[in-house]
Chains A and B, each alone.
Chain A
Amino acid sequence: MRLSVPSKIPGLPVLAIVLLLVPIVLNDEFYLDIATQVALIAATVVGLNLLVGYAGQVSLGHAAFFALGAYGSAILTGTYGWTPVPALLCAALLVATLAWLVGRPILRLKGHYLSMATLGLGIIIAIIINNEGWLTGGPDGIPVAPFSVMGFELSIFDEYQVLGMTVSGALAWYALAGVLLLLAVWIAQNLIDSPIGRALRAVRGSEVAARVVGVDTSHYKLLIFVISAVYASLMGSFFAHYTGFITPQLATFEHSIELITIVVLGGMGSTYGVIIGAVLLLLLPQLLTDFHEYEMMMFGLILMLTMIFMPRGLLPTLSGLLQRSWPRRVRSSGQED
């Protein structure tokens, strides 16, 4: 069964419309703040999903790449006085190099051993960030300069004049995050629909089958590991500029788990599914704050129940139900894209 929404629905325009509707319906600093963070994390997990959902390689340490992007930007702009764009590109390049170097040996591991190794890698990076205070500010964290392009600064505390309208900094940031998410999805979908994407899915489907028809599976695993790390790094950089202050919390095992949970919850191998996963998982704590001390318990319980009753994730399960009720229409779709 295909793990995506019925392919007749053009995902990207729908996503764009939803992104446009959010600030119209909820034009409020508080909601925009959440929406901006959700969009950045969603873009991150769209990248992670390429690795986990499509290629079937589990990473339990992906937050480390996110944090490295964030700290890379913070340190290059803060300590070394770079402007944000070269800084985040340089950070992404460093993360790509690191992912490439460690990915080569690590990705030979299979199943739980791979999970173990990525988990180990992530925690080591988290500990380094925590301990090397001279560079990273240590457990207390460090401030990050606002994002700017060619002298034009984007800060949530400012207001901007666009076509005669006054746009709050929060809204401007939300727009940037929305564009980033759309770009992230567009690139991910392009990749998936290409021979490279097919090779990746085959790694998950049957690695031997892929190999005997000539797919250099280790090459593709490494490629997608690096790509998903770059996704995380770039979004980490933007996240750092957005929040203006980062702590080692970004790199922790808990944060890695949060990222992988979003992927599994939304639906492995479903780009739009993981976006929905990001929305739900990040909104859940907001909804649960009313439960005060029971928040954590409720969160664990909901997570458990969702995965037990929808093991394939939210979107694939729901679209599966839809397909069952309208088998005709869905069957006749396909292959156009």
Chain B
Amino acid sequence: MFAEFLQYLFSGVTTGAIYALVALGFTLVYNASHVINFAQGEFIMIGGMATLSLLGMGVPMPLAIGLAILLAAVLGALLHQLAIAPARQADVVTLIIITIGASIFLRGLAQVIWGKEYHALPSFSEQESIEVMGAVMYTQSLWILGVTTLLVLALALFFTRTLVGKAILATSMNRQAARLMGVRIQFVVMLAFTLAAILGAVAGAVASPITLTSYDIGIMLGLKGFVAAAIGGLGSGVGAVVGGLLLGIAEAMTAGYISSDYKDAVAFLLILVILLFMPRGLFGSRVAERV
């Protein structure tokens, strides 16, 4: 009984950590620019697929991952410079469609380069799994949790200790004031896109030994990350992490105890229920709208 529960919990926390990373990417971009970047999921795909093909060329794993992340970072910056920045004045829905166009483009590109097959990366550690109180835990899960924890801490430090981080925060709180204080808004937004792409790529690289990867995994992972971010209340970093973990665990429990057919529905049911009772998510600000 308990072992079973523990098993589901391990798997939930693992996927939850991935969702948290993706959700943090959404949150970063949303805070800096109020854009929902539907292409966020594609960076997960790029992180996994690029690592894979570099490994195939004989590049050692750590370097392969580093290069994949670099590639995603460049693409993230380009996405902002070429597609988002020229259309800043556009309607929110228009911006959504632009990011969707970008995601279709990236997916199409991936399909041309890497084909349509599913692939798995090798596990980072030699030993694939360990046993904890009767439940099996993949060592890759530990990698995922470790990397997520490190990244979350790094982000926290970045936002509280560095000038650039503070500039991003200031921009998210009050664009006008930040501009007056000399923050270069467009640079900050580009940085947010780049960081979000990096987060996505890291998630993709550490997750693919477990989740497999292919040119089209970005859609669902991206949507789930978006749900996690919205559960947390779009724009809250803590909310994104909590939302991600909550979602991962809820999915694993549903798949385990109720029906694996409806595993994917959990995210969307959860977001509907949460929004009904908390129209701004768990951690969203509750200010009265000004007129």
Q: Contact at B101–A301, with CB atoms within 8 Å? A: yes
Check A311 for interface membership: any CB of B closer than 8 A: yes
CB neighbors of A among B69-91 (8 A): 83, 86-87, 89-91
CB-CB under 8 A from B36, the residues of chain A are 112, 115
Q: Contact at B108–A297, with CB atoms within 8 Å? A: yes
Q: Contact at B262–A131, with CB atoms within 8 Å? A: yes
Q: How far is the CB of B269 from chain A (nearest CB, A)?
A: 6
Check B197 for interface membership: any CB of A closer than 8 A: no
Q: Contact at B264–A260, with CB atoms within 8 Å? A: no
CA distance A113 to B284 in the complex (A): 11
Q: A253-B223, A260-B93 are in contact. Are A303 and B101 (CB under 8 A)?
A: yes
The interface bits of chain B over 92-121 (1 if a CB of A lies within 8 angstroms of the residue's CB, else 0) are 111011101111111111011000000000
Check B195 for interface membership: any CB of A closer than 8 A: no
Residue in B closest to A61 when the chains form the complex, CB atoms: B268
CB-CB under 8 A from B94, the residues of chain A are 264, 307, 311-312
CB-CB under 8 A from A265, the residues of chain B are 97
CB neighbors of A among B202-237 (8 A): 219, 223, 226-227, 230, 234
Q: How far is the CB of B212 from chain A (nearest CB, A)?
A: 20
The interface bits of chain A over 265-297 (1 if a CB of B lies within 8 angstroms of the residue's CB, else 0) are 100100000000000000000000000011111
Q: Contact at B279–A297, with CB atoms within 8 Å? A: no
Check B126 for interface membership: any CB of A closer than 8 A: no
CB-CB under 8 A from B272, the residues of chain A are 106, 117, 120-121, 124
Q: Contact at A119–B223, with CB atoms within 8 Å? A: yes
CA distance A123 to B104 in the complex (A): 19
Pick the residue among B83, B108, B271, B291 that contacts A296 (CB under 8 A): B108
Q: A116-B230, A123-B265, A124-B269 are in contact. Are A304 and B102 (CB under 8 A)?
A: yes
Most chain B beta carbons < 10 A, residue from A117, A257, A296, A303: A296
Check B280 for interface membership: any CB of A closer than 8 A: yes
CB neighbors of B among A84-114 (8 A): 105-106, 108-113
Q: Contact at A308–B83, with CB atoms within 8 Å? A: yes
CA distance A311 to B90 in the complex (A): 6
CB-CB under 8 A from A301, the residues of chain B are 101, 105
Could you tell me how many residues of chain B have their Cβ less than 8 Å away from some Cβ of chain A?
47
Q: Contact at B104–A117, with CB atoms within 8 Å? A: no
Most chain A beta carbons < 10 A, residue from B97, B103, B291: B97
Check A208 for interface membership: any CB of B closer than 8 A: yes
Q: Contact at A308–B98, with CB atoms within 8 Å? A: yes
Q: A108-B279, A111-B92, A304-B83 are in contact. Are A117 and B271 (CB under 8 A)?
A: yes
CB-CB under 8 A from A112, the residues of chain B are 30, 36, 92, 230, 234
CB neighbors of B among A15-41 (8 A): none
CB-CB under 8 A from B275, the residues of chain A are 106, 109, 113, 116-117
Q: Contact at B271–A116, with CB atoms within 8 Å? A: yes
Q: How far is the CB of B111 from chain A (nearest CB, A)?
A: 6
CA distance A111 to B102 in the complex (A): 21
Check B276 for interface membership: any CB of A closer than 8 A: yes
Q: Chain B: residues with CB nearer than 8 A to chain A? A: 30, 36, 83, 86-87, 89-94, 96-98, 100-109, 111-112, 219, 223, 226-227, 230, 234, 261-262, 264-265, 267-269, 271-272, 275-276, 279-281, 291
Enumerate 25 A-B pairs (CB-CB under 8 Å) in ascending A order. A105-B276, A106-B272, A113-B280, A116-B227, A116-B271, A116-B275, A119-B268, A120-B268, A121-B268, A123-B268, A124-B268, A127-B261, A127-B264, A264-B91, A264-B93, A293-B111, A294-B112, A296-B108, A297-B108, A297-B111, A300-B107, A301-B105, A304-B102, A308-B86, A311-B89
